[in-house]
A and B are shown apart, each in its own frame.
Chain A
Amino acid sequence: DIQMTQSPSSLSASVGDRVTITCRASQSISSYLNWYQQKPGKAPKLLIHAASSLQSGVPSRFSGSGSGTDFTLIISSLQPEDFAIYYCQQSYNIPLTFGGGTKVEIK
């Protein structure tokens, strides 16, 4: 199985900050990498697919990059509604696997 390792597991940031979350795969997954945002009691929401493609309706302050084994999610200017948990997921092969999550909290 492909292991997905996210870092950090949590971070504190202020509104307006630039936030960077990384995700590393245990083997190459090309660009088969998705990023999700999850708020308490809600289903995950797709932000980025295919490593760098912004999902329709998602604000442009979110961006993704990377290929192979190393990926990054950047929030260019953190907004109050962005405080949530973020997960990466590989869809390169079965079983699909998720990173452990990054909790973005208010500083």
Chain B
Amino acid sequence: EVQLVESGGGLVQPGGSLKLSCAASGFSFSGSTIHWVRQASGKGLEWVGRIRSKADSYATAYAASVKDRFTISRDDSKNTAYLQMNSLKTEDTAVYYCTRHPGFDLWGRGTLVTVSS
């Protein structure tokens, strides 16, 4: 089955860290760019960042709101992308989705991250 599955969400205190995973199956993960998108409760969609494929040197890019705090990586041998989140703030509370490009046609179900004391 072609799918993306996010995991690793949970409750974390402000200033803490969390690492999310995005596990892919059923398609050529290694050739895909993976994007992370988040959505706070009742709010719109916000792009977080992306990691390109090996062919594009695993280039990463980030939204200004998370730059220098979040890091995206991938392990093509495990068909998994990661979102390392450090120095978390309450405003990072959201459902985090991963999606593939080209296409943006496949999204995971999301994983909830709650930053609260």
Interface residues of A (CB under 8 A from B): 34, 36, 38, 42-46, 49, 55, 87, 89, 91, 94-101
| Residue B97 is within 8 A (CB to CB) of chain A in the complex | yes
**Contact across chains for B44 and A100 when beta carbons are under 8 A apart:** yes
Please measure, in the bound complex, the distance between the C-alpha atom of A103 and the C-alpha atom of B105, giving whole angstroms.
21
Q: Among B35, B101, B105, point to the contact of A55 (Cβ < 8 A).
A: B105
| Residue B26 is within 8 A (CB to CB) of chain A in the complex | no
Please measure, in the bound complex, the distance between the C-alpha atom of A87 and the C-alpha atom of B110, giving whole angstroms.
17
Smallest CB–CB gap between B17 and chain A, Å?
Answer: 23
| Residue B9 is within 8 A (CB to CB) of chain A in the complex | no
What residues on A are CB-neighbors of B61 within 8 Å? 94-95
- A–B complex contacts, Cβ < 8 Å, 25 sampled: A38-B45, A42-B109, A43-B108, A43-B109, A44-B45, A44-B107, A45-B107, A46-B103, A46-B105, A49-B103, A49-B104, A49-B105, A55-B105, A91-B104, A94-B50, A94-B61, A95-B63, A96-B47, A96-B50, A97-B47, A98-B45, A98-B46, A99-B44, A101-B44, A101-B45
**Contact across chains for A98 and B108 when beta carbons are under 8 A apart:** no
CB closest chain-B residue, reference A96:
B47
| Residue B64 is within 8 A (CB to CB) of chain A in the complex | yes
**5 more A-B residue pairs beyond the given contacts A49-B105, A91-B104, with a C-beta to C-beta distance below 8 A:** A46-B104, A98-B44, A98-B46, A99-B44, A101-B44
CB closest chain-A residue, reference B59:
A94
CB closest chain-A residue, reference B97:
A43
What residues on A are CB-neighbors of B50 within 8 Å? 94, 96
